[in-house]
Structure 1
């Protein structure tokens, strides 16, 4: 299953339509062991309500409840993701502790009993949410939960980049980004899975200097993390 998931990371960047994008994220979620998935791009506006652009494969009967603005305000998972970038692993207890046990009962009948969700908070008031859900309990083994969460975090960087051009074509600029040779080298080695310490040894520079190059590259690319910067640089053809 791991090799299949890894193939999905890059292939989602090839999605040209909303339908293709949805097919990619659904296939990834189901390969990870979850029945349903939601991928949502959000744009905040200084004046007016935020924009929501979403794909999901949830049951049609759940659409009315899911699209109700009050639903998100009650949902402790969405409230967590609204303010934090740390993934949340949730189940019935998450809702009970938040005083929203009834909310969990409402959604559980549609198969939303537990899952993992995370958000990426980007420059210029843009956000990306990715959540996977199922009606069976999550694995009892902590290492398996860690593996699932790590896979979701990695995939989110690719899915967010794809969503910019599929769900938000009107705001996706034709980027021309100039990175320095050191910034490009840093991203290339990061793509190979090297740590900042290892890259520093390879390039003959300090670990802190590597981190500064990575941070500078991410800022120029408008990305929220080094991983996201690697994905965007790949899509733009800046690294191979």
Structure 2
């Protein structure tokens, strides 16, 4: 790989202002390292721990991509299972020998992926300080020279994947800021103290307001967050970063 070409792609990443540009840069990286396919995904539990949000950019075959999420394959995907628990890159063929990540369903998923043109590949876990987990994968539909291609691209792919994560996160943050639920200062304060296990009466004394006012603020916050009860509202506010620890 030409160092200059790689540097130009990294520079372009820093200047990307929309998702389509990011996709184009990822595709160019694929071409540079000799792979046909890529996927970058972020798994975020900000809205739910049991049903986390998965955001992706990819050029995977359309039918495979559609079936993958419609059938919920991510729940048994050995690549996802591995990346949720590890930080080092893994080749798919090597992953199949690690029984703790591959059950019978997972093995069938990898076979179906191969039949869809994703014969073998490389996946890189990326862990964010915020708790998000990202995965950057490169895949090929041809076996010839794959060992050499993987070995040659690995250092670049790890660095590139991290930069894609930073750029994609920045783009998503801008979108989220436009859509983020707005809580008033009083609603945040009420949720904060509810998180600390305080009753509505105790919160009213802390905030020097009536208990009825606290109940109103908590009910309003619960409604805005689309939560089913006060505890759920507190959890969603924490996961969304709307209420934070104070030092």
TM class, shorter-chain normalised? Answer: 0.5 to 0.7
Deviation of residue 90 (structure 1)? 1.4
Deviation of residue 125 (structure 1)? 2.0
Listed as ranges, the gaps of 5+ residues in structure 1 are 173-240
2:166 counterpart (156, 161, 166): 161
1:65 counterpart (45, 64, 67): 67
Correspondences of 1:85-96 after superposition (within 5 Å): 85-91=87-93, 94=96
For residue 34 of structure 1, give the secondary structure of its aligned residue in structure 2.
coil
Residue number in structure 1 paired with 2:33: 32
Residue number in structure 2 paired with 1:52: 54
Q: CA RMSD in A?
A: 2.6
Q: Residue deviations 1:105-130, cap 9 Å, x none?
A: 21112211111111211122222211
Separation in structure 1 between the aligned mates of residue 172 and residue 144 of structure 2, nearest angstrom = 30
Deviation of residue 70 (structure 1)? 2.9
Residue number in structure 2 paired with 1:230: none
Residues 94 and 53 from structure 1, CA distance in 2 versus in 1: closer, same or farther, beyond 3 angstroms?
same
Residue number in structure 2 paired with 1:14: 15
Residue number in structure 2 paired with 1:147: 152
Separation in structure 2 between the aligned mates of residue 137 and residue 27 of structure 1, nearest angstrom = 20
For residue 67 of structure 1, give the secondary structure of its aligned residue in structure 2.
helix
**8 Å contact from structure 1 (residues 92, 113) kept in 2:** no
**8 Å contact from structure 1 (residues 10, 158) kept in 2:** no
Residue number in structure 1 paired with 2:127: 121
Residue number in structure 2 paired with 1:231: none
Residues 95 and 171 from structure 1, CA distance in 2 versus in 1: closer, same or farther, beyond 3 angstroms?
farther
**8 Å contact from structure 2 (residues 45, 52) kept in 1:** yes
**8 Å contact from structure 1 (residues 41, 167) kept in 2:** no
For residue 58 of structure 1, give the secondary structure of its aligned residue in structure 2.
coil
Deviation of residue 23 (structure 1)? 0.7
- The structure with the largest alpha-carbon Rg is 2
Deviation of residue 50 (structure 1)? 1.4
Separation in structure 1 between the aligned mates of residue 53 and residue 34 of structure 2, nearest angstrom = 30
Separation in structure 2 between the aligned mates of residue 74 and residue 95 of structure 1, nearest angstrom = 15
Separation in structure 2 between the aligned mates of residue 141 and residue 60 of structure 1, nearest angstrom = 26
Which one is further off, 61-70 or 89-98?
A: 89-98
TM-score (norm 1): 0.63
